Amino acid sequence: MAGALFAAFILLAIIQSIATNDRWEWGVFRQWFFDPVILSGLGKTLLLTLLGTVFGVMLGTALALARLSSSYLLNALAWGYIWLFRSLPLLLVLIVLYNFSYLYDNLSLGIPFTNIAFFSTPTVDLLDQFSVAVIGLSLVQSAYTAEIIRGGILGVEQGQHEAAAALGLPAYRRTFRIILPQALRSILPTGFNEVISLAKGTSIVYVLSMPELFYTVQVIYNRTQQVIPLLMVATVWYLLITTVLSILQHYVERYFARGTVRQVAPTLFKRLRRWRIAGY
């Protein structure tokens, strides 16, 4: 009881301090929170998060399966990729990609070691700010995702692998129909943490002068000198993004928990309803 009262006192003191300090400039916060420029930057942040997640999961799954492959060459290539992109800071990857045209004037697709090219284009035309941001985020994200998926697959009991093989199914069907669905329960919590980190990590693309949420806020407060209220605008939007992803994580984990536990955990709305009834 004493601990709860102390926590409530601290919380109320913080709220009172923030609400009564005019230097937070909540009027400016309200002015900019739903401004079209801010919402445009928010949209780019959400789009980068979505694309980075989709491409990161696709490439990460392929890398994880390669790491578990019996082929030493495939295993070594996947390990080298993961080692490289887990070692490099995202900022460094983005800057190198943005200056990729310095190394290669043109990017082409054709038959190696010949002059036959099916497709060729100037690198500077292909790698614009948005493309560099998506590619950089996806490359780094896939390296971490690969290890998360590999760990989840290794966490499946060996007996399940043997039972799947006994069914006579091809290797790819055993993996995608039996092993991966069981591994998802251990993959999802860490995987969603990576998605949340990616949503916040999109702010690093400000180095490309791309108008996502954080860069947009920077441009505005450099012009208006209203630093704190505009940083609070970004703060609240990032909090909302994280909250939505956390709620989504809860329901996805709850869905995949069916059949593995005797009683599925209640939804967030049911918990709130119980607390409300208990309050009365």
Could you write out the three-class secondary structure of 23-37?
Answer: HHCHHHHHHHHCCHH
> Which of 165, 166, 185 lies closest to 175, judged by CA?
165
User: pTM for the complete prediction?
Assistant: 0.85
Asked if residue 13 belongs to a domain, the reply is: no
Considering the domain boundaries, does residue 17 fall inside one? no
CATH number at residue 171: 1.10.3720.10
Identify the band that residue 280 occupies on the pLDDT scale cut at 50, 70 and 90: very low
Residue pair 74/62 in contact (Cβ under 8 Å)? The answer is: no
Range of the structural domain that residue 226 is part of: 28-256
Summary count for the chain: helices (H), strands (E): 14, 2
Given this model, what pLDDT does residue 246 score?
92
Cα separation, 21 vs 25, whole angstroms: 8
Distance (Å, rounded) from C-alpha 56 to C-alpha 201? 14
Q: Is residue 148 part of a domain?
A: yes
Contact 75, 163 (CB under 8 A): no
Biggest CA pair distance of the chain: 79
State the chain's mean pLDDT as an integer.
86
CB 139 within 8 A of CB 85: yes
Q: What is the pLDDT of residues 17-69, one digit of tens each?
A: 878 888 888 889 999 999 999 999 999 999 999 999 999 999 999 999 999 88
Domain count, the chain: 1
Asked if residues 88 and 111 have their Cβ atoms less than 8 Å apart, the reply is no
Q: 223 in a domain, yes or no?
A: yes
Any domain includes 276: no
First to last CA, the chain: 20
Q: Is 275 domain-assigned?
A: no
The values of phi and psi at residue 88, to 5°, are: -90, 135
Q: How far apart are CA 157 and CA 178, in angstroms?
A: 12
Whether the pLDDT of residue 278 is over 70: the answer is no
Q: Are 150 and 68 in contact (CB under 8 A)?
A: yes
Q: What is the per-residue pLDDT across 171-217, written as a single tens digit (0 to 9) for each?
A: 777 777 777 778 888 888 899 999 999 999 999 999 998 999 999 99
The least confident of 126-135, 156-165, 200-209, 266-275 is 266-275
Residue 252 lies in a domain: yes
Does 222 reside within a domain? yes
Q: Please name the residues in contact with 146: beta carbons below 8 A apart, sequence gap of 6 or more.
A: 59, 60, 61, 63, 64, 67, 78, 82
Q: Residues 148-174: what's their mean pLDDT?
A: 76
